[in-house]
Amino acid sequence: MGYSLTYKSQEDCDGGNKVEYKMNIYCKKDADEGRKFEMVEADKCAIEMNWEGPEGCSFDLNITKYLEPFAKFFGFFEILIGLVVCFYGSKFFEYTFATLAFTLMNGIVIGAAYNMQIMIIQRLMNSMSQSSVQSLW
């Protein structure tokens, strides 16, 4: 189980083909034994490599368990925001649109970073001590 990434270069190779790099990433949950990185095929036009490690495993992001404590307040905020928008909405249209665009882009960037495991939230939070959190600020 895992996934495969294929990159095609703009560089020409023999016979008019493009240079192609393929990386197969396989799931290996017990990373204590070490990760495995090997070259499968390499010639002038095609390179293929295999990677085994926990990075290839799927994950489940269950956000409802984090939002559950705030569920009782959602209705209040929806009514409050609705009243403000009803009476003063035209004055705040540009700010509202900018805020929504910012929130959307933030969600896309953070979601992509999390899915590509550039940012691993659970490991980061578990490994931080109180002093390291204070030193970040």
| Segment 51-72, tens digit of pLDDT | 888 777 776 677 788 888 888 8
**How high is the mean pLDDT of the chain?**
76
Domains present along the chain, CATH in parentheses: 2-56 (2.70.130.10), 64-136 (no CATH)
* For range 101-112, the mean pLDDT: 91
How much is the pTM?
Answer: 0.42
* For range 84-99, the mean pLDDT: 83
- The whole-angstrom separation of Cα 65 and Cα 61 is 10
Place of tokens 């550039």: 118
Q: Which token pair is 75?
A: 């209705």
